[in-house]
Amino acid sequence: MSGWLAIAGLGPGSDALVTPEVTAALNAATDVVGYIPYVRRVPERAGLTRHETDNREELERARHALEMALSGRRVVIVSSGDPGVFAMAAAVFEAVEAGPEAWRRLDIRVLPGITAMLAASARIGAPLGHDFCAINLSDNLKPWALIERRLRLAVEADFAIALYNPRSKSRPEGFGRALELLREACDPGRVLIFARAVSTPEEALRAVRLAEATPDMADMRTVVLIGSSATRIIPRDGAPFVYTPRAVPE
């Protein structure tokens, strides 16, 4: 009876971005739990059971993993990116708080990973090189009005902004509304980066000015980075560099 639960971040896609800590946990696990494409990133081996679940069943998945850990299994819940950024870690702690006392005594660890916005930022330069924020654009779990309010305040604070989950089949409208809001609040020269499937074979990055941005540039595998008012493009042969300077003059 020495079960444990690790909630592990697999990073954005490439195995070269998986930390040794996560690899060690996966090697020691008896069970891997998660959304289908993430579980399939973990190679099959004797002694390992892979539990594939649908994306919408986060709390149920968390409870299942906690029950297995309590029964003595060594369980890893896999997330893409970092499990603490719009991923499974919060769902697990929601389940723990609402669940039986025994779950609080479990060995539960969160193993950080490279989150999408930082992988995207690295790939194009340093657009998040100054103060920034991260907003989940999905309104599955919060009112759309709150998203708009946060976006307005983030622009007012002149943060660089990372938008996670900008668009999905069930939410086709939100990102277009976010672009309209940005057009009201920002200069048309504001820099936007559409970073899709970074570090995978399907990777695609493009930097555009706000005036040229359209809703179809984002899909469910895209993270959108919005520069601050100071973010700059360095033109060069091939893909440009984009960065936000460290200094704001007095």
Please give the residues from 46 up to 65 whose contact with a copy of itself meets the rule CB under 8 A.
Answer: 58
136 closest CA partner among 86, 92, 176, 102: 86
Instruction: Assess 3 for contact with a copy of itself (CB under 8 A).
Output: no
Selected binder of a copy of itself within 70, 110, 186, 226 (CB under 8 A):
110
Instruction: Find the binder of a copy of itself among 142, 172, 189, 211 (CB under 8 A).
Output: 142
236 binds a copy of itself (CB under 8 A): yes
In the complex, least distance from residue 91 CB atom to a copy of itself, rounded to whole angstroms: 6
Please give the size of the binding site for a copy of itself, defined by CB under 8 A. Answer: 75
3-state SS, residue 108: strand
216-53-76 Cα angle (round to 5): 110
Residue from 50, 73, 123, 183 in contact with a copy of itself (CB under 8 A): 123
Q: Which is nearer to a copy of itself, 184 or 250 (CB)?
A: 250
Closest CA to 75 of 19, 2, 174: 2
Calpha distance 189→229 (Å, rounded): 9
Supply the minimum distance, in Å, between the C-beta of residue 234 and a copy of itself. 5
132 binds a copy of itself per the rule CB under 8 A:
yes
CA-wise closest residue to 243 among 133, 151, 127: 127
- Residue in 40, 203, 28 with CA at minimum distance from that of residue 111: 28
Sheet containing 49-53: order of strands:
49-53, 31-35, 74-79, 4-9, 107-111
Q: Are strands 160-164 and 222-226 parallel, antiparallel or unpaired?
A: antiparallel
Binding of a copy of itself by 207 (CB under 8 A): no
Residue 45 within binding range of a copy of itself, rule CB under 8 A: no
Give the three-class secondary structure for 62.
Answer: helix
Distance CA 87, CA 151 (A): 20
Window 81-100: residues binding a copy of itself (CB under 8 A): 82-86, 89-94, 96-97
- The half-sphere exposure of 33 on its side-chain side, counting CA atoms within 13 A, is 27
Under the binding rule (CB under 8 A), the answer on residue 146 touching a copy of itself is: yes
Q: Is 248 in the site for a copy of itself (CB under 8 A)?
A: yes
Residue 204 or 216 having the CB closest to a copy of itself: 204
Within residues 149-168, the interface with a copy of itself by CB under 8 A covers 149-150, 153-154, 156-159
Structure token digits, residue 125: 């330069």
Asked if 111 touches a copy of itself (CB under 8 A), the answer is: yes
Q: Does the protein bind a copy of itself through residue 15 (CB under 8 A)?
A: yes
* Residue 133 phi, psi (nearest 5): -140, 165
Q: Does 181 bind a copy of itself (CB under 8 A)?
A: no
Interaction of residue 176 with a copy of itself, rule CB under 8 A = no
- Residue 125 engages a copy of itself in binding (rule: CB under 8 A): yes
Q: Does 113 bind a copy of itself (CB under 8 A)?
A: yes
